[in-house]
Amino acid sequence: MRERVVSPAAISPEDEQAIVSLRPTKLNEFTGQKQTIEKLSVSLEAVKRRDEPHEHILFYGPPGLGKTTLAHILANEMGTRLVVTSGPSLQRTGDLMGILTNLEAGDILFIDEIHRLAPSVEEFIYPALEDFKVDFVVDKGAYARVINVPLKKFTLIGATTRAGLLSAPLRSRFGIFHHLDFYPDEDIAKIIKNSAQTLQVTIDDEACREMSHRSRGTPRIANRLLRRVRDFAQVKRDGVINLESVNSALEMEGVDPAGLDNLDLKLLTTMIKFYAGGPVGIEALAATVNEETDTLEEMVEPYLLKIGFIKRTRRGRVVGQAAYDHLKMRPEGGPQQQLL
């Protein structure tokens, strides 16, 4: 898959490491998701007073909105250890067994993309979440024995971008659910301002607002764009980030004023020129733009749906009026469609 500067997912280990350095460490430092933060602050204070582990938590929502950051913050606030893993990396029950038996009382186990757990691993974790024990089968056939292994009380924090793919039994094991949604521009601007202070670069308010418009409501993208603009300002300008340096840097990166990149624009123009604006199925679109359907559904569509550039109907995807206005193209489409 191509590398996209506006991708909500981490595009490289170096990119992820840079983002980690900009994460807040306290709940009161976290910007945005006001309702979720308020609920977490109440439940966190309650378990501190009772001196017991937190209930199991499930964070769900699009990538790049702070699910992993919140897990780190909760561990910091509770003064406990955070053990991080992911659903795809836990393919055998033995993988999870080693992690669970090494957890201390009050530790937090964070499983990213928890909907991708192997079925055998998912079933293995049920008694661990309910009764803090695991049943380990040794030998086979007539000599098979079940060894009951007690665990210390821990907290599981699961994160997923596809909550609908979680099985009902696993979902029912979580006591608290928090949905993370895209951030408004004013919150993204505050995040950019705070990150600029951490990076020790000077940025004015107008530049923050412009960059927030192009960050697709996602802090991870905002921080990535900030680093790219910082590099541009230091090399091509005097090191100060202003509106002119933001526009020049992001034009070079291929990010337009609405936060769209070449793949977004290719998808929209393909729908207009070849399918008269829709409706069109996702498989046909993927074949036409030469991308995987998962890429379009998980990495491209969410933001375009949010801003009304495309709409989903029972017959397929349809281009919204906002996209025609932005692209300055006629709604009727067709192979001979030209820009106005």
Q: Would you say residue 340 has pLDDT above 70?
A: no
Write the DSSP assignment of 273-320 as a string of letters.
HHHTT--B-HHHHHHHHT--HHHIIIIIHHHHHHTTSEEEETTEEEE-
Number of domains in the chain: 3
Distance CA 163, CA 171 (A): 9
278: left (phi over 0), alpha (psi -120 to 50) or beta: left
At 139 the pLDDT is 66
Would you say residue 336 has pLDDT above 70? Answer: no
Q: Which residues contact 98 (CB under 8 A, 6 or more apart)?
A: none
Q: How sure is the predictor about 15, in pLDDT bands with cuts at 50, 70 and 90? A: low
Residue 110 has pLDDT above 90, yes or no: yes
Could you tell me if residue 44 is inside a domain?
yes
Which residues carry out catalysis?
Answer: 67-68, 112, 161, 220
Is residue 130 located within the same domain as residue 172? yes
Residue 228: which residues within 8 A CB-CB, separation 6 or more? 5, 249, 250, 253
Report which of 115, 110, 112, 134 is spatially closest to residue 124, judged by C-alpha positions. Answer: 134
Last residue of a domain, one of 235, 253, 271: 253
My answer on whether 82 and 170 are in the same domain is yes
- pLDDT range class, residue 191, cuts 50, 70, 90: very high
pLDDT band at 334 (very low <50, low <70, confident <90, very high): very low
The verdict on 311 and 242 lying in the same domain is no
Per the domain annotation, does 26 fall within a domain?
no
Domain of 283, in residue numbers: 262-327
Same domain, 75 and 118: yes
Q: Is the predicted pLDDT of residue 298 greater than 80, yes or no?
A: no
Q: Is the same domain home to 151 and 222?
A: no
Residue 2 lies in a domain: no
**Final residue of a domain: which of 128, 147, 179?**
179
Report the chain's mean pLDDT, rounded to a whole number: 84
Neighbours of 1 (CB within 10 A): 12
In a domain, 9, yes or no: no
At residue 61, the pLDDT reads 87
Residue 118 within any structural domain of the chain: yes
* CATH code for position 197: 1.10.8.60
What region does 307 belong to: left with phi over 0, alpha with psi -120 to 50, or beta? alpha
pLDDT in tens, 131-169: 888 777 766 666 667 777 888 889 999 999 888 888 888
Asked which of 148, 179, 210 is the last residue of a domain, the reply is 179
Same-domain status, 170 and 192? no
Tell me the pLDDT tens digit for each residue of 241-278: 888 888 888 888 888 888 888 888 888 888 888 888 87
pLDDT the model gives residue 337: 41
- Whether residues 45 and 93 share a domain: the answer is yes
